Amino acid sequence: MHDNISSSLRWQRRLTVVAVLLTAGVIMLGAWTRLADAGLGCPDWPGCYGHMDVRKAISYVNSRNEVEPGTYREAFKTIPEMVHRYFASALGLLILIVAVMAWRNRREAKQPVALPLTLLVLVICQGILGKWTVTMGLQPTIVMLHLLGGFTTMTLLCWLTAKLYHWPRFLNDCDVRSLKGLAGAAIGVVILQIALGGWTTANYAAVVCTELPICESGWKDHINFRDAFTFWGHEHDKPDYEFGVLENDARTTIHVMHRFGAIAVFLVVGLLALRVMLNARCHFHRNFGLAIGGLLLLQIALGIGNVVFKVPLLMAVAHNFFAV
């Protein structure tokens, strides 16, 4: 039985599903760019060495490196940066189309309007942050905000998709209202942990602790909260923030806090998954609880794997993606 909805809403359903998948790709491409140390592979914006075509940018860098060896960056680092920009631009265009369709269809009772417009504003802000990430030389606070913006975009797109398909109404048939407080706490610790993860990678602190469960022995003697969580005005003599500017103690502090955040997420989200499975009154929520628990264990395993195997690229990208 089909919903009695307009053609516009049907198209918005399709486009938001595509946008969710595209956002997942953009998040992974952003992680690949960052973890491959290609964030400054293109030092200008929106082009790359003055070119929108990545092939021309590669040719330009190679030709300049022949004339002035060592002056320009590795040509291959232009690829992740520009591919990320291409996909992000496509996502922005898709969200613009959905927002325009929502506004034109705003008089229909079932049409969400505020959420598509919020997404449009968010994706514009993301474009600005993406520009600043490059032009401000990977300033850590900008990098972290850009990462959080990507995760927020994914969350709002999933919410919009759910509203367009009327999933909230369906989920109300399964009474789990008693878990609202715990779910809110879980969301809070996950957001904080994602921010800590973004701050860890933005400050190149991922490999500073190579032992489990917290860090190397004596880590308590190397805690420096003041420098670790200074979000602006870092004093340094480098031309940019690539590979980090913080001293080892500050990086250790950031990494240790991310480890403690992981423990908090494991406890709170794990408890939520368990209670959903035990208390849910319908099959859907029991499976949802299982999915939460499974993804939590996968994310913990990827985090441990990053420590044991010294942050291999594919594992680090997966760890970034499954945080969503």
Closest CA to 266 of 298, 296, 292: 296
Question: Could you tell me if residue 92 is left (phi over 0), alpha (psi between -120 and 50 degrees) or otherwise beta?
Answer: alpha
* Residues 288, 276 contacting (CB under 8 angstroms): yes
Rounded Cα distance, 43 and 45, in Å: 7
Q: Report which secondary-structure segment, H or E, holds 203.
A: none
List CB contacts of 268: < 8 A, sequence separation 6 or more. Answer: 182, 185, 186, 189
Confirm whether 68 is a catalytic residue.
Answer: no
Residue of 66, 68, 74, 81 with catalytic role: 81
- The two three-digit tokens of residue 86, written as one number: 């291409």
Rounded Cα distance, 289 and 200, in Å: 29
Count of residues in the chain: 324
List CB contacts of 166: < 8 A, sequence separation 6 or more. Answer: 3, 110
Dihedral pair phi/psi, residue 51, rounded to 5°: -120, 140
Strands (E), 29-116: none
CA atoms within 13 Å, Cβ hemisphere of 123: 28
Rounded Cα distance, 118 and 116, in Å: 5
* Single-letter code of the amino acid located at 108: E
* Residues 182, 271 contacting (CB under 8 angstroms): yes
Give the active site residues: 81
